[in-house]
Amino acid sequence: MTHQPSSHPDNLHPDTVVVAAGRPAREHDAPVNPPIVLSSTYVGTGTVVDGDRAYGRYSNPTWDPLEEALSQLEGATLPGLIFSSGLAAVSAALSLIPAGGILVMPIHSYQGALVMAQELEAKGLFTLRTVDIANNDEVIAALTGAGEKAADMLWLESPTNPMLEVADIHGLCRSAQAVGAVVVTDNTFSTPLVQKPLELGSDIVLHSVTKYLSGHSDVIMGALLTSNPELRNALLHHRSIHGAIAGPFEAWLALRGLRTLALRVERSQASAMELASRLDAHDGVSRVLFPGLPSDPGHLRAQAQMTGFGSILCIEVEGGEAVAEAVVEALRLWTPATSLGGVESLIERRRRHANEPISVPANLLRLSVGIENVEDLWADLDQALTTVTASE
């Protein structure tokens, strides 16, 4: 069965789009859900032309519904591109930087993206300028080069991982494009239900589909969305030649997970706000990082460009590294694990990773709030913080 783009109205709300997008055509006895197509190649004779599937590394009918749905959610005018992982999508995006070019990236970024950029710089492929992404003046100076070469790409992440700084996406996009830089925005933390980077001026939006979009900690996948045909063609070529393609079963699972995105985000955001407020008053916590708190430095900026504040928060535990580790070990409901955006609540001390920037406090814990009852989540946090910090 050939997939056809959804024919539903264009003015649907995003929480309807996650359910309606990427459905098969409404024909008698057609399936409601798109099927999984398991094939490494396709029937064809003669010269391959644009639009032919030809071979499984170039295309798969199971990708189409997911790529269509993600495109609609982000407001892209072209179909999205899914990749085998978030880092595969990062690699494709970084490939757009010309040899000898300049990349401006937040000093607090997804660790994999930052390490990849550092390694590519070490090989002489481009120059990396890291910045405090919440400081417009610093970012603009890095973009313009302050008398040196201007940047070729601005990498945005807002809120950042894990310090939750909020970038002025619209303002920085205008500054970047004024010097001819391509803007890539990692929208993994916010999801398209909370923030629309393309509408704010970004050229490309990146997602680790692994996280909120699939939402069940059972898929590894990345995605890139753009409305620029030239950029999309370059990204598609990179995927086809470098081979970082998603499996059809993973694409099917991700689309199934996407169907409940609105419900999951609504629940986890509300719980994150409640937990952040309570933790802000807890004696065992010295600092809470969460843009939903009025006291947070990024609060007003987040209000202006987001429809919510996300479901990730960070706390600095009273005491040092050992105390923070003890708090994690004392938890019984929260799962100590990396990653985020699943239905289950996860927690980890970020500096346990060797490549995490030294500017991330050693006693900082990142919390990915899931969809469990908020009172159960709070009770577990409270008992762990109270027991451990009281014993110090």
Q: Please check the confidence at residue 350 and state whether its pLDDT lies above 90.
A: yes
pLDDT band at 3 (very low <50, low <70, confident <90, very high): low
One-letter amino acid identity for 276?
A
What pLDDT score does 148 carry?
86
pLDDT band at 8 (very low <50, low <70, confident <90, very high): low
Do residues 341 and 212 lie in contact, with contact meaning Cβ atoms separated by under 8 Å?
yes
Around Cβ 231, how many Cβ atoms within 10 Å? 18
Q: What is the arithmetic mean of pLDDT over 168-177?
A: 98
One-letter amino acid identity for 259?
R
What pLDDT score does 4 carry?
55
Pick from 103, 132, 109: nearest CA to 188: 109
What pLDDT score does 46 carry?
80
How far out from the chain centre does Cα 93 lie? Answer: 14
Which of 64, 110, 212, 267 does the annotation list as catalytic?
Answer: 110
Q: Dig out the tokens for 3 from the structure.
A: 């997939």
Q: Dig out the tokens for 22 from the structure.
A: 């990427």
pTM of the entire structure?
0.95
Pick from 267, 264, 388, 249: nearest CA to 317: 388
What pLDDT score does 9 carry?
63
Identify whether 65 is preceded by a cis peptide bond (ω within 30 of 0). Answer: no
In the chain, the percentage of residues whose pLDDT exceeds 70 is 97
One-letter amino acid identity for 57?
R
Which of 42, 53, 55, 57 does the annotation list as catalytic?
Answer: 57
Q: In what order do the strands lie in the sheet with 364-368?
A: 285-289, 312-317, 364-368, 346-349, 335-336
Domains of the chain and CATH, by start: 14-258 (3.40.640.10), 261-390 (3.90.1150.10)
Which of 135-144, 179-188, 350-359 is predicted with the least confidence, judged by mean pLDDT? 350-359
pLDDT band at 147 (very low <50, low <70, confident <90, very high): confident
Distance CA 290, CA 222 (A): 25
Which of 152, 168, 186, 296 does the annotation list as catalytic?
Answer: 186
Pick from 193, 184, 188, 173: nearest CA to 72: 193
Q: Dig out the tokens for 192 from the structure.
A: 């398209």
Query: Is residue 10 among the annotated active site residues?
Result: no
What pLDDT score does 380 carry?
98
Q: What is the arithmetic mean of pLDDT over 49-72?
A: 94
Do residues 158 and 191 lie in contact, with contact meaning Cβ atoms separated by under 8 Å?
no
One-letter amino acid identity for 120?
L
Which of 23, 196, 211, 366 does the annotation list as catalytic?
Answer: 211
Give Cβ neighbours of residue 164 (< 8 Å, ≥ 6 apart).
Answer: 289, 290, 291, 296, 298, 312, 313, 314
Do residues 371 and 267 lie in contact, with contact meaning Cβ atoms separated by under 8 Å?
yes
Q: Please check the confidence at residue 5 and state whether its pLDDT lies above 80.
A: no
Q: Dig out the tokens for 183 from the structure.
A: 């803007």
Sole residue written with tokens 């993973």 = 250
Query: Is residue 186 among the annotated active site residues?
Result: yes
Q: Dig out the tokens for 165 from the structure.
A: 């700084």
**SS3 readout for 349-376:** EHHHCCCCCCCCCCCEEEEECCCCCHHH
Give Cβ neighbours of residue 198 (< 8 Å, ≥ 6 apart).
Answer: 74, 75, 76, 205, 225, 226, 227
How close are the terminal C-alpha atoms of the chain, in Å?
64
Q: Give kind and range of the element (H or E) at residue 212.
A: none
pLDDT tens sequence across 268-291: 999 999 999 999 999 999 999 999
